Structure 1
Amino acid sequence: MENLAGILEHIRKELHKYPEVSEEEYETQKRIQAFLEKHTTCELVTVAKTGLLAIFNGNKKGKTVMLRADIDALPIQEVNTFEHASVNEGVSHKCGHDGHTTILLGVAKLLTENPLPNGKVVLLFQPSEENGSGAQSVLKDPYFKKLHIDYVFALHNLPGFTKREIVVKENEFTSNVKSVAIILEGKTAHAAEPEKGYNPANAIAEILYFIKQETNNIPESADFFLATPIHITMGEKAYGVSAGYGEVHLTLRSWSTRLMEEKQATLKSLLQSLETKEKLRVTASWFEEFYANKNNTKAVEYIEAAATQLKLSINKINIPFKWGEDFGLFTQKYKGAMFGLGAGKNTPALHNPDYDFPDDITLTGAQLFYNILKEVQE
């Protein structure tokens, strides 16, 4: 296993050094494919342009299990100065997707060295998780549609948790998240005669009041709902002009998909009323939509059994994570679960410019995934 750990650390640092953002993971895809062709025996299929499937078939019939790793990086400038620091200006692996990818490459190596006799294993190296489009693109892929999947699993490294600790939860594991850009178009006028134009200021104020009233930022609550202002702009710094244009950008988060739909509908209704009331043209663009990861009870049991076999500490959390993860789209469609892998209590937080995936948890993730596969087939 020591040799495997060294091989995986090498490819992880290579992936870290050459990161690519969502929808641009062409070189990353090539590196993954080259590793799999050199070190494993599997069928390779390109999906969703920059994604890749590595397929392992057992000799006997069994369940089809998909494991997923996200492969894209973030538009964040790295501040680390180690040898494998990003060489791509303004782009870096600050969420650990280089580590997630490497863990799945480790699983591929384990499946090659110790093939499972039953069933089919589909390793998905998925693009574009960070912008929320990757899972949907894979699900629409013609080849992927032909697969009859029984279970899906994914992990996310978790700074702030003890290294190698396995973090599990039934039902919602991560939040529903939606982003919206609200454009308010009115009519500019002289600042001394604002009545001759249509200023979006009052509408912006009502939107901000609305989200303050609707927000219930209590994670312990089943009706948790968080609306966060991200960006607001209006007019220009021209003091003789009454503004005729404004923007409000928000993110919405909830545990409940139903509640998210209700809040979204309420906001849409408010925007329609503001359009009439303030004589504005109001348009809302919804994007970066993440569905909650809804963990299946049996899938969580498989994770816990596999972790127990490896004598790993299991942390059963009560409150979901407030961040979004597009693997939720898979758990809405298939039985499955996402779980956490502790990355160290003193590891920099995800999306921080000094974050780096800890290589000493890679083999743990690969072995755990492999054991989950065995548990499902037994």
Structure 2
Amino acid sequence: MEIQEDILYSIRKELHQYPEISGEEYETQNRILRFLKQNAKCKLKKVAKTGLVAVFEGKEEGKTVLLRADIDALPIQEINTFEYKSKKVGVSHKCGHDGHTAIMLGVATTLTKNPILKGKVLLLFQPSEENGKGASLVLQDNFFINLSIDYVFALHNLPGFKKHEIVLKNKVFTSNVKSISIKLKGKTAHAAEPEKGYNPASAIAVILLFAERESNNKPEAKDFFLMTPVYVTMGEKAYGISAGYGEVHFTLRSWSTDLIEEKRKQLRELVIQLSNNYSLESEVFWFEEFYANKNDDQAVSIIKKSAESLNLPINEILTPFKWGEDFGLFTQKYKGAMFGLGAGKNTPALHNPDYDFPNEIIPTGVQLFDKIVKEVLHS
């Protein structure tokens, strides 16, 4: 299969130079749109404001397969100095979504050169993956509401694994992740007379101890649960004042949807109890919610067979990844799977300021997605 590697490397570097954070991917959408109009023959549909779907249809009816690439960047200042470094202060592609997008554009050019004869292929360029909002926005779009999809697939590049290695796992591939902020409002008082006010310190301490006590940071365990404190604040640097306001933020992670819901309920009840005990007003906000990627056995089998036909190295892992991925919402609704594409043993980790997606794995991603499509549509 012929792949125009130079053109894909070029668009990847262009996307890297002009990153956009979740919900603001308007110019990224335009760059993808221009590329597809110049290099592919397909129907194009804007979705979820800043997303895009490229539709390839065969002449005969058949199965429908969706492939997803995420397109948003992160609010991280890049420290790399190469010529195509980010031109936007404080924003950069530190999760490799520029590479994921380039791979999907390569799939589009491949499907143009070798059109499918039956069925339908949807290439989704999804916005807002990093904040957990994109998948939901896409699935609520009118284009998707009544759409029948047989399989969904997505990949994520994985530093720490050999380049071109295909990382597979049945069942859970990534964790459920929920973020929470707990705001506690009391009443200030003189620091010499704290009993005349309502200080949130004791309540915050109990919540922090709850997080430590309930966490079971053993990824190999079925009841893995991790509640990580990410932000705590209270009062002011005014040493004559007993604090009257505080807040604490966490991320919650678990393989099990039921377990994470159980912990959410316990936490909610604890906050209510503490608010009553310490005469505090409480506000609880849940956000950046990611559903676990539930890999279907048959979908994983399709990926494995496709990778074997390309003689790609396969690594079948035993333990899921603890990070969240917005594609999980698709695998909750449709039969499908997410897999990993090794980005190099010594490649900087995802979300690190010196990370950069390795161009050389782009053709691997294109070839494997193309094989997966053929395997689904011809089966």
* Both structures adopt the same fold (TM-score exceeding 0.5): yes
Work out the CA distance in 1 between the residues paired with 2:2 and 2:314.
Answer: 24
Question: 1:153 and 2:153 equivalent?
Answer: yes
CA contact (8 A) 2:127 2:134 kept: yes
How far is the alpha carbon of 1:146 from its aligned partner? Answer: 2.5
How far is the alpha carbon of 1:60 from its aligned partner? Answer: 1.1
1:34 is matched with 34
Counterpart residue type for residue 34 of structure 2 = A
Work out the CA distance in 2 between the residues paired with 1:86 and 1:291.
Answer: 30
Work out the CA distance in 2 between the residues paired with 1:239 and 1:232.
Answer: 18
Work out the CA distance in 1 between the residues paired with 2:13 and 2:2.
Answer: 17
Where 2:4 maps in the other structure, the secondary structure is: helix
1:223 is matched with 223
Structure 2 runs not aligned, ≥5 long: none
CA contact (8 A) 2:3 2:363 kept: no
Where 1:69 maps in the other structure, the secondary structure is: strand
1:273 is matched with 273
- The ranges of structure 1 where at least 4 consecutive aligned residues each deviate by more than 2 angstroms after the TM superposition are none
**TM-score, normalization: structure 1?**
0.99
What is the number of equivalent residue pairs in this alignment?
378
- What do the CA deviations read for 1:318-375 (whole angstroms, capped 9, x no partner)? 0000000010000000000000000000101000001110000001001100100011
- What do the CA deviations read for 1:140-196 (whole angstroms, capped 9, x no partner)? 001111311111000000000000000000010000000001000000000111111
Work out the CA distance in 2 between the residues paired with 1:344 and 1:60.
Answer: 41
Work out the CA distance in 2 between the residues paired with 1:342 and 1:19.
Answer: 23
Distance 1:369 1:2, change over 3 A: closer
Question: 1:70 and 2:70 equivalent?
Answer: yes
Where 1:173 maps in the other structure, the secondary structure is: strand
How far is the alpha carbon of 1:115 from its aligned partner? Answer: 1.0
Work out the CA distance in 1 between the residues paired with 2:3 and 2:116.
Answer: 22
2:4 is matched with 4
Distance 1:307 1:71, change over 3 A: same
Where 1:105 maps in the other structure, the secondary structure is: helix
Where 2:272 maps in the other structure, the secondary structure is: helix
Work out the CA distance in 2 between the residues paired with 1:41 and 1:225.
Answer: 46
**Equivalent pairs: percent with the same residue?**
68
Structure 1 runs not aligned, ≥5 long: none
How far is the alpha carbon of 1:3 from its aligned partner? Answer: 6.0
Counterpart residue type for residue 86 of structure 1 = S
CA RMSD, 1 decimal:
0.7
How far is the alpha carbon of 1:118 from its aligned partner? Answer: 1.5
1:182 is matched with 182
Counterpart residue type for residue 262 of structure 1 = E
Question: 1:324 and 2:285 equivalent?
Answer: no
Work out the CA distance in 1 between the residues paired with 2:151 and 2:138.
Answer: 16
How far is the alpha carbon of 1:2 from its aligned partner? Answer: 6.9
Work out the CA distance in 2 between the residues paired with 1:81 and 1:254.
Answer: 38
Work out the CA distance in 2 between the residues paired with 1:373 and 1:250.
Answer: 39
- What do the CA deviations read for 1:275-327 (whole angstroms, capped 9, x no partner)? 10010001110000000000000000000010001000110000000000010
Equivalent residue runs for 1:231-246 within 5 Å: 231-246=231-246
Where 1:37 maps in the other structure, the secondary structure is: helix
Work out the CA distance in 1 between the residues paired with 2:306 and 2:163.
Answer: 17
Counterpart residue type for residue 339 of structure 1 = F
